[in-house]
Structure formats: C-alpha cells, structure tokens
Structure 1
C-alpha cells in the first residue's frame, strides 16, 4: 500500500525515568501503588456522586409538525430502529387508512401521555406496559418513507413515482441478501433510550398489523458519551463518522442538499420530502483490529484519535486537498478523499449522513456480526448516494466491509396542517 510521510512523530529519546527497570522509575511506582487504593477510593466516590447527579431527560420532545418530517436533520440520538414493511392490502383506500393510522400514532407517541392498561382484564392491555404509567417523548422521532415497490400496479400510483426512486442496485463490493433488502415502507425510529424506540415500534405494529407486515429490522446505536458531549460519533472502527456533514443550521444548504424543492423538478407532491438511502454494512472487525494504525489512518485519511485530516491538528481543519495534488499526505484511495474530494467545491457529495452502528450477534464463521447502518438523505439520489458510492468503489476499506442489505426510499413530506397525514399529497393530490 502507498504510504504517506505525514505521520505521528516519535517521542524524544527515553530518559532514565522512562526505563521501567531504573531505580527512579521503581521508586515512583512504589509511591504510586502506595497511594493507589486511596486515590481509587476518592475517584470512585466522585464517579458515584457524578452518576447520582446525572439524570436522563425523558421529557425532551421533537415537534412532528412541519413541511418536513422530523428525524432527517434532527440532532442525533443514542438509539434507533430501522424497519421496513410490505403493505398487505391492494386497496388504495386502505393504504390511505394505513398512512392515517401511522400519522395518528406519531402524533400520540411523540407527546407526553398518561398511559393506561384498560379496565377489562378479559381483553389484552391497550398498550405494552414497557414504559410504566407515563409516556415521555425522549426526543422520539418517527420518519416514514416509501419504496419504489409501492408504485407498482396495486394502488395506481405509478405515474406519481419520484423521478429518481429505484430499487437499490448491487454495487461491486456488495453481497446483498434478499431477506435484508427492500420494502414498501421504511420507518425509522430514533430516541435517546432503547425502551423508547422499542415501545414506539411495538405500538405502531399493534395498531397497523392488519395492513402491513415487517420485512427486515435492524437496531442501531451511537456512543452515549459522544451524543452527551455533542461531539462527532465514533463508529466501530474507532474513527469519527460524520465530520464532513453539512450543518443542519444552514437552511439554504439543507435545501440544496437534502430537501426536495421546485428546483428538483419532481412531482408536486414531493416538495418537502427527501430521498433516503439505507445500507447495512458488515464490518470484519477481527481483521481490522489486526491492521497497523498507519494503514487504518491512511485508509480513512484522518488520524484515529483526533479525527483531524492527516497533516492537520484538529478534526474540523480544512484538509486543503488542493495543496496536496499528488496525494502525498491524504492518499487518493483514502475514504475521505474519494467520498468528499472538495475539488472543485465543498460538499461534492450531495447528501447528509445520519448513520448508526449495529451489533447483531455471531456469524456462522464465529465472527462478530457488527457494522454500520449507513443512512444518507438527499434531494437527488443520483447526485447524492449513487455518485458518492461510485467514487468509493474499489477503495481499500472494501477489504474490511461487506454491504448486505438496505434499500432506497423517498421520505414523505411532513404534516403542515392539523388535518394532514403523511402521504396525503400523494394519495389525494
């Protein structure tokens, strides 16, 4: 593999104190051990005190109203569930009923509620009981998108299909598994605790199971310490994931990258929506953990600990790729340079990522089944995910990753008025 010369500098020559066998070193170790128990005791006490003062705020609510759905550019949460469903009816009126039901449950689940199990013990409880007596929002968002398969002949919607919406194709490094691909509907649940997303999923299924059936489900998470500190989340490779994302506070940039506007020349009902690309990517972590640090950093184009571009000091530093025309510092094959070359402009990748890690179990080979739920939102699927993936084809990271599922979907516009429901513009427009 091509190497670069901008690496970590070695430490200065060792002093006698650096030698574990030196008398000074041994004396220092004795003193450290002598005070170790006391220090540990004080440290444990401080940690316990800090833990007792740190409470999870379950009352945070994200408004589901608006021209856009929540959960696309909403700040990251710690937990997520991604589920796709196939619609079981062939009647347009019943599809409308399904989307109305889903919209009603979103309105209910994302606001504080007093829960009840019902008064008739001869009937099933009206809700699962997982959250006790009170439903707190816990930053819950539920985001609904439709797949290309919904625009077949069942509902007469073919002429209304978003122009760029297609079934997800197989890219060169993929090993797609049918049971992990596609679906008529994609529903993304995000919140800051595991029980909140599970409760919402069970609620939605219990109310809608006569009209839709699950196809595949994947649970995701982000490191709690990164979310609490509002810092870039670290993926299972140990690298920061999402440093180059466009800021959600820049509404003009969000219109340029994420939301469908009149400039995209889509069907009128699509305005305010977004294309969703989901890719389930398995990591070969055992192989990765045996890979030298220099190769890992070259593959990403960033330092592992700081997240800074190679040759720079801080995570958000400009990589200045225009000053590195021969790839001596940030290799041409690096993930960073292929995904977002920044030449001739910033945000060459016309998308915004919202990915989560997953941990599923053990593979038949005995290896860990862990990896990434890659999620990207864009207003043009071709200029966004597809073009970006084509630039990444053949990158060195492919030795450690294997995409095996996911799909392309279109996020329905939001509910902007009191009598709206998700998909109303599509079905009634």
Structure 2
C-alpha cells in the first residue's frame, strides 16, 4: 500500500487525478485499487462527495503517527510475486510527478489459500483468519458495495468505503502465553474451530453460553460479532507485515457500504477486549474506493 498526497505543483484537481489514473499503467503486472481520502473527496460540491468520508479518528488505545496515517489517495498494489509488486510501485511514483509519497507499507499473506470460497491466511499471532467473510459474491457485494438509494451520490454506487489500520502486534508478549490461553483470548482455535465444539463451517451458539464459560465474553470473536448468525456488514482482506526490529503486525483492511454499521460498530464493541494489551494501532486511514472506470473524476466537481 502506498498513500499519496498531491504535490506542491499546481494544477486543476481533475487533471492531477487523471495523471494518477494514467500512471497506474505502470503497475500493469499487478492488481491495483485506488481509494480517495478526505481531501480528494472534498474536491467538488458537497452534493457529489461520499457522505461518510471523514478523517479516520483515533479509537481507544490507538497511537496514530501522522506520518503513517491518512493521505489524499491510497494505492493498493497486489500480486503473486513480491518483487513484481515492488517494481510496480517504484515504476508508479516517477509516472505521477504531481503526487508525493506520504507513507507506504508492504504486506504479505502467510499460508494464503481459499477454502469454502473464503480467502484465508495466517496472521503473526499464528491464527488463521478470514472465516468470517462471506463465501459468495452476492453476499460480498451486499456487505461491501454502496447501493442505490443509500443516500450517496449516484457516481458512488458500486464503490466501497475502505478502512486501513496498521496494527503493531506484541508478538513476544503474546508468545509467552499458552496456546490454550491465546485461543480463549481470540475465541477460536488456531485452525478456526470454535471453542464450543462447533465445526469451522458452522456458527457457534453464544446465547447458550451466557456467562462465557466456553467462549469468554471479552474474547475477540465474541465482541466483534455477538450473534455470529448476523455478521457485521463488512468484508476483510488483511495482510501481515514485518518491518524488522520486532515491528511486526497486521495491515488490517476491510470494505463496507456503511462505515457506522460496519467497521465503527465492531471497533466500539472491541473496546476492553482481552487482546487489547497485545495491539497498538499506529496508522492507516479511511478511503472511498470508486466503482470501476474513471467517471468518478468528473463527478468530483
């Protein structure tokens, strides 16, 4: 991921946005998505802006570094080979002289695979994640994509609000705990099985465990989704990172059509979770990923 700000060079707003879109040809060997931040979203008339696009606030326990947070646009480059992704990013920057790098981070998905239609990977705490995502395209779109009649401008229909959180993991502290304690903090087995014995492909009945005897009340999964049959309306696609010198963690990324009902509702429920002492969010931001094409550039006026 690379967050960019408009450079000191002047110019009409839509022109420099088109320069960016044109420069993305430099990353043709890899997949790429672009999200606009608050400053770009505010280019045009208020009626044409994504309604919920604001600067990401600091939540309980966050220590946001301004140099690693926010940005006018977020370019996310993905590929099967890390060398290709790095080359694509390096090729992009010279191609967009109207933009300057604000921050970047390189991520990876250990043991990346698909099971039951869900993309799974192992995070730095040794747990497999991704089981909470929908398995079908229809439900994925329902959770992630802005709908007509939602109160958003017409051009934004089919787009998505993206939340990025750079979360540093206290892996040395975490690894001092027993595996069973780690599983109680998360609320699942390392391989994704539920603590109450429910198989991976089924949802646990938390209502049958009101005192948290099987799945603790302050476990991550229980707070994130108290009713697993009514999951949060968001889709996750996160990456591990390792900057060296013990700075390892997760580039948490999720997409939703409604920030308040999606990420923000989950984040507020997670205040006071047992895992909090092992996590420190240091950066990231809110962005709006436009629908395919570049017609959105003309809409921001």
Matches of 1:342 and 1:236 in 2, distance apart?
26
Matches of 1:228 and 1:254 in 2, distance apart?
15
2:175 to 289, 313, 320: 289
| 8 Å CA contact 2:26, 2:95 repeated in 1 | no
Q: Which structure shows the bigger proportion of residues in strand conformation? A: 2
Change (3 A) 1:216 1:109: closer
1:239-276 deviations in Å (ceiling 9; x for gaps): 111111112x332x233210111132101121111000
- Determine helix, strand or coil for the equivalent of 1:269: helix
Matches of 2:250 and 2:147 in 1, distance apart?
30
Matches of 1:369 and 1:413 in 2, distance apart?
34
**Which sections of structure 1, spanning at least 5 residues, go unmatched?**
1-81, 111-136, 363-367, 416-420
Q: What's 1:361 paired with?
A: 244
5 Å matches for 1:171-210? 171-208=59-96, 210=97
1:214-258 deviations in Å (ceiling 9; x for gaps): 1111100011x43388862110000111111112x332x233210
Q: RMSD of the alignment, in Å? A: 2.1
**Which sections of structure 2, spanning at least 5 residues, go unmatched?**
none
1:83 CA displacement: 1.0
| 8 Å CA contact 2:168, 2:247 repeated in 1 | yes
1:313 CA displacement: 5.5
Query: So what's the TM-score if we normalise by structure 2?
Result: 0.92
1:288-319 deviations in Å (ceiling 9; x for gaps): 01012222011111112x31010226322321
Count of residue pairs the alignment pairs up: 299
Query: So what's the TM-score if we normalise by structure 1?
Result: 0.66
Q: What's 1:397 paired with?
A: 275
Change (3 A) 1:160 1:198: same
1:33-70 deviations in Å (ceiling 9; x for gaps): xxxxxxxxxxxxxxxxxxxxxxxxxxxxxxxxxxxxxx
Higher relative contact order (CA 8 A, sep 6+): 2
5 Å matches for 1:48-127? 82-88=1-7, 93=12, 95-107=13-25, 109-110=27-28
Q: Structure 1 residue 145 and structure 2 residue 47: aligned?
A: no
Matches of 1:239 and 1:384 in 2, distance apart?
23
| 8 Å CA contact 2:49, 2:300 repeated in 1 | no
5 Å matches for 1:303-314? 303-304=189-190, 306-312=191-197, 314=199
Q: What's 2:230 paired with?
A: 346
Pick the structure with greater CA Rg: 1
Change (3 A) 1:233 1:422: farther
